[in-house]
């Protein structure tokens, strides 16, 4: 596990077409959950930093759905999915980039209290295939993940409002 707060560990699973993302935050599990479920907070941190994000719809509950649009220089990228389970310290959802609508991933986000005001986020994205997973891994996703999480860390450090 990478102990630096500013960098996420991003690894491809050797056994299944899954990506593991882990990062520690100076926050409680409840604060991190809120930043992932509250659409007004979500748009403030989701990366990469050169995109602006707006919510189309957002129903953050078990059985709910979501859609957001990220844009840059007049170009738009839309994403959507369903919240399958929203539980204490865990979110299970689907994730689809509308540019590749057949490539749906199942994401599980777990928030583990490490004590002393620290929480570990472990996100697992199960892709449709090894080729799909490898495409994500080679897409430059790490910059968007790390830029977004750095912004999330700043948001948490400035207090949630």
Average pLDDT per 10 consecutive residues for the chain, totaling 161 residues: 66 96 96 96 91 96 97 94 97 94 94 96 96 88 90 89 57
pLDDT number for residue 6: 66
Q: Is residue 75 part of a domain?
A: yes
Whole-prediction pTM value? 0.91
Q: Is residue 154 part of a domain?
A: no
Place of tokens 């840059």: 72
CATH code for the domain of 60:
3.30.530.20
Length of the chain: 161
- Count the domains in the chain: 1
Q: How far apart, in whole angstroms, are the C-alpha atoms of residue 100 and residue 79?
A: 10
pLDDT number for residue 82: 98
């Amino acid at each position: 596990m990478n102990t630096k707060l500013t960098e996420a560990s991003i690894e491809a699973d050797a056994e299944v077409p899954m990506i593991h993302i882990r990062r520690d935050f100076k926050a409680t599990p409840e604060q991190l959950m809120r930043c992932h479920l509250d659409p007004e907070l979500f748009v403030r941190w989701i990366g990469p930093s050169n995109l602006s994000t707006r919510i189309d719809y957002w129903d953050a509950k078990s059985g709910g759905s979501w859609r957001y649009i990220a844009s840059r220089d007049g170009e738009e990228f839309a994403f959507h999915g369903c919240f399958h389970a929203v539980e204490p310290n865990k979110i299970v959802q689907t994730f689809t980039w509308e540019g590749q609508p057949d490539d749906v991933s199942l994401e599980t986000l777990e928030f583990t209290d490490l004590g002393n005001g620290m929480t570990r986020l472990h996100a697992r994205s199960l892709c449709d295939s090894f080729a799909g997973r490898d495409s994500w891994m080679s897409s430059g996703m790490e910059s968007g993940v790390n830029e977004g999480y750095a912004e999330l860390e700043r948001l948490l450090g400035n207090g949630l409002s």
